[in-house]
Amino acid sequence: MPKITPNLWFDTKALEAAEFYVSVFPNSKVNNVSYYGEAGPRPAGTVLTVDFELDGQAYTALNGGPEFTFDEAVSFLINCADQDEVDHYWSRLTADGGAAGQCGWLKDKYGLSWQVIPAALEELMTDPDAGRAQRAMEAMLKMQKIDVAALRAAADSA
């Protein structure tokens, strides 16, 4: 199967965004930066693309102009082991202009949507006891950042 690389369209901040994402996720790096030449459409010497990896997953960031922006139709899900990981990624990605959304969703300072989801959420949503799963769902729908202890408490209340 061919490798699939998400391509993220930025106006002018592709390199800044890539460097930010690389600072957030372990085992990550910027691999290559290319620049516009004389043929344009941007001024020669400005960043065209940035190839980077987040924990082994390749991405390309493009400075394509203001024509397109991110929305929630596409998001990146971070599967977190526990509340500490949720708290870490949530605080890093909402910092400096990011915004909390509902049910574990957020937008970072570049407008890219992320879902910061603990393993416990799937465990509770797929609980064989339908009542526990329903109570966890009701609690999750009231949250912004997912709170594992509150989810478990809601699931266990009868």
Assess whether pLDDT exceeds 80 at residue 36: yes
- Could you tell me what percent of the chain has a pLDDT over 70? 100
Local confidence band at 98 (pLDDT 50, 70, 90 cut-offs) = very high
Assess whether pLDDT exceeds 90 at residue 106: yes
Assess whether pLDDT exceeds 90 at residue 124: yes
Assess whether pLDDT exceeds 90 at residue 103: yes
Assess whether pLDDT exceeds 80 at residue 158: no
Asked if 7 and 60 touch (Cβ cutoff 8 Å), the reply is yes
Torsion of CA 120, 122, 125, 126, to 10 degrees: -110
Q: Quote the pTM value.
A: 0.93
Match 């024509």 to its residue by tokens: 67
* Radius of gyration for the chain, computed over Cα atoms and rounded to the nearest angstrom: 19
Question: What would the pLDDT profile of 73-87 be if each residue is shown by its tens digit?
Answer: 999 999 999 999 999
3-state secondary structure string across the chain = CCCCCCEEEECCCHHHHHHHHHHHCCCCEEEEEEECCCCCCCCCCCEEEEEEEECCEEEEEEECCCCCCCCCCCEEEEEECCHHHHHHHHHHHHHHHCEECCCCEEECCCCCEEEEEEHHHHHHHCCCCHHHHHHHHHHHCCCCCCCHHHHHHHHHCC
The stretch 95-124 carries a mean pLDDT of: 97
Asked if 155 and 125 touch (Cβ cutoff 8 Å), the reply is no
Q: What is the pLDDT, as a whole number, of residue 26?
A: 96
Local confidence band at 40 (pLDDT 50, 70, 90 cut-offs) = confident
